[in-house]
Structure 1
Amino acid sequence: MASRDLNDLIPAMKTKSEALIRKCRDRGIEMRPSATLRSPFEQAELWRQSRAREEVQAKIRELKAAGANFLAFCLENVGPRSGPDVTGSIPGLSWHQWGEALDCFWVIDGRAEWSTTKKVNGLNGYRVYAEEAERLGLTAGGLWPRRKDWPHAQLSAASSPARARTLLEIDRIMKERFEQG
């Protein structure tokens, strides 16, 4: 299960995440972490859950052909999954594997609220969260032009670690950090 601990984030993201949660609270919005650091195996589970076997097998072949054997192993190892489409990022290509992303959910009267349109005292928690994230210099998933991800905030403006590193570098780093055994 993905970590919810802000201490698992890199220092710059931890500091901004603490400030983000505090600024939301100052505006009367309680946001609670649901994911900080996520292993590439957990990312593989999320990515696989909404994809057909053929798409998964094609991605595994593509990763192996590129020499990204550990990332391919992560996708292969978690086995078939089912569920809603919640991510477009394969293992290693989500900022969660780098400790540079935070997902939070909005809490109203002790219960998780997922609506991006519901308002309490004229405010929607996810809209406030996105506004405050941007003010802190974070990138808010709810403000992305496509594939909005309202609970998500990340340190980098780049959509993926693949914008800054090669797939082979990502594969090597993920293997060093997360290989089991």
Structure 2
Amino acid sequence: MRRYATDFTAWGILILLVIVLLLVFSQRESRYKDLGDDAPLPDKLNPVVEEKMDKLVQRAADKGIEIVITETVRSKIEQNELYAKGRTADGSVVTYARGGESYHNYGLAFDYALRNKDGELIWDINYDGNGNGKPDWFEVAEIAKDLGFEWGGDWSRFKDYPHLQMDFGLSIRQLQNGLRPKHEKKDDPK
């Protein structure tokens, strides 16, 4: 009798675990739209990314830092041209992502630069234009991370200081397979 109770308990736990996993998986997938393998690439930023980007620009300005958005959505062709730099084209390597392998290709990333007091665009990560003793580049990165962005300056393989992205839990492979973030309008205090 005892053996049957143990077997029943083990089966019960297994069934409960399967139900929980199915619920978690179905809720996770419901956060995304599935557009299929032939999903078109967007020609503009994801609306949440754009809204947060605008907040970033404003919050940086409130700290006396002027940032300029230098790149948003890229086509696969543009991405491949960037990938060629330092490889088959003149220049230094600027990316390890080929066309379709960058969050830029899906409207989920943008690049920025700083504008100094002379009006010039700069990419000097040590520049302290607002004179508070902290590099402006890192101040912008902290604001961005507070807004939910991933910063390329935190990457270990390739430091991409001008790069910010939101992946919404989607890998590049999932994006290539047609999954896209699904957004519902709700108030966001950030």
1:37 to 54, 70, 73: 73
State which of 24, 30, 34 in structure 1 corresponds to 2:60.
Answer: 24
Query: Which residue in 2 is equivalent to 1:74?
Result: none
| Structure 2: unaligned runs, 5 residues or longer | 1-42, 181-190
Percent sequence identity over matched residues? 32
Tell me the number of residue pairs that the alignment of Structure 1 and Structure 2 aligns.
Answer: 134
Deviations, residues 39-94 of structure 1 (Å, cap 9, x unaligned): 1111001101112xxxxxxxxxxxxxxxxxxxxxxxxxxxx522111001010010
Distance 1:114 1:138, change over 3 A: same
d(CA) in 2 for partners of 1:39 and 1:92? 8
CA separation in 1, counterparts of 2:86 and 2:146? 33
Alignment check: 8 A CA contact 2:106 2:175 kept: no
TM-superposed deviation, 1:160 = 5.2
Of the two, which has the highest radius of gyration?
A: 2
**Closer, same or farther: CA 156–101 of 1 in aligned 2, 3 Å:** same
Q: Does the 8 Å CA contact 1:94/1:160 hold for their aligned counterparts?
A: no
C-alpha contact 2:127 2:137 (8 A) present in aligned 1: no
Contact map agreement 1:49 1:81 (CA 8 A) in 2: yes
TM-score normalised to the size of structure 1? 0.68
Q: Is the 8 A contact 1:31 1:125 kept in 2?
A: no
1:117 and 1:124 in contact (8 A); partners too: yes
**C-alpha contact 1:126 1:142 (8 A) present in aligned 2:** no
The whole-number CA distance in structure 2 between the counterparts of 1:90 and 1:158 is 20
1:139 touches 1:154 (CA, 8 Å); kept in 2? yes
Counterparts of 1:78-93 in structure 2 under 5 Å? 80-93=88-101
More helix by share: 1
1:165, 1:29 → 2: CA distance? 33
Superposition pairs for residues 52-91 of structure 1, below 5 Å?
80-91=88-99
Off by >2 Å, runs of 4+ in structure 1: 157-160
**1:128 equivalent in structure 2:** 139
